[in-house]
Amino acid sequence: PFFTPCPAPYLAVRLIAAVCLGLIGFLNSYSVRWAAQVNTVMTFMKVSALGIIIVFGGIQLGRGHTYNLEPSNAFEGTTSSVGDAMVSFYSALWAFDGWQSLASVIEELNNPTRNLILNIAIAMPLVTIVYILTNVAYFTVMTPAELLASDAVAVTFADRLFGVMSWIIPVAVAVSTFASLLTGHLAYSRPLMVAAREGSMPRILSMVQVDRLTPAPPVITRILFAMVMLIP
């Protein structure tokens, strides 16, 4: 929101990314509980932002903005190509990818045979409902072509409806991105640790920090690789 409508400076983006990676590495190396609590707060903020979008979309529906939702308009340009159908599945995969993070930390769950199934059974329908309602809300202010052309659909939605408060959604998008990265490093450092434990990776990656009981070596390794990718 700080540079809108101008593009963000290239170096500023890289520096902010480096700071975020450093913070994520610190949280995951210092305390699993801290990382989980921060992620819980950010998830609440993310879902709240989606709730705001859904509410405003409902208001738009009540005002009669249903043109883009009518079948003749909503499905205009629909193709029967199998390839395009596969691309649509791939595009939606990320939205429902959270279960993999839970599976990666299953050995750290309390009563995993119950809680893993319970979490998936609750989270998957909830995410599906929230995403469907959010997309319905988007179509009350955007055509399918505008939605596909937008770099950040939620931001475009906010710019058209929220007025001076439109900055809320870009901040929420940033929070959502940070939360996804935090969860990713929390979860996907574990496969490195297990692979090292089984002898498939260097043994140092199987070690945990003696005081904090966190898998610091694999966390730091992932952060270092990510930092290298930021180099212009």
Supply the DSSP symbol for 144.
H
Position 137, amino acid:
A
Give the per-residue pLDDT at 4: 64
pTM as predicted: 0.81
Q: 95 near 174, Cβ under 8 Å?
A: no
Task: Say how many C-beta atoms besides its own lie within 10 A of residue 118's C-beta.
Answer: 11
| pLDDT tens, position by position, 17-46 | 999 999 999 999 998 888 888 988 988 998
Low-confidence stretches of the chain (pLDDT < 70) are 1-5, 95-96, 98-99
Give the per-residue pLDDT at 18: 93
Give the per-residue pLDDT at 7: 76
Give the per-residue pLDDT at 91: 74
**Counts of helices then strands in the chain (DSSP H, E):** 10, 0
Give the per-residue pLDDT at 2: 65
* CA geometry: angle 39, 43, 45, nearest 5 deg: 120
Q: Is-cis flag, bond preceding 144, omega within 30?
A: no
Give the per-residue pLDDT at 23: 94
| pLDDT tens, position by position, 113-142 | 888 888 888 888 888 899 899 999 999 998
Supply the DSSP symbol for 232.
-
> Given phi > 0 = left and psi -120 to 50 = alpha, else beta, which region is 7?
beta
Give the per-residue pLDDT at 27: 92
Q: 106 near 115, Cβ under 8 Å?
A: no
Give the per-residue pLDDT at 52: 93
* CA geometry: angle 89, 95, 99, nearest 5 deg: 105
Looking up tokens 């998936």, which residue turns up?
Answer: 120
Q: 49-73 burial, b if ≥16 CB within 10 A, otherwise e?
A: bbebbbebbeebeeeeeeebeeeee
Q: 69 near 139, Cβ under 8 Å?
A: yes
Give the per-residue pLDDT at 119: 83
The alpha carbon dihedral of 140, 145, 150, 152 has a sign of positive
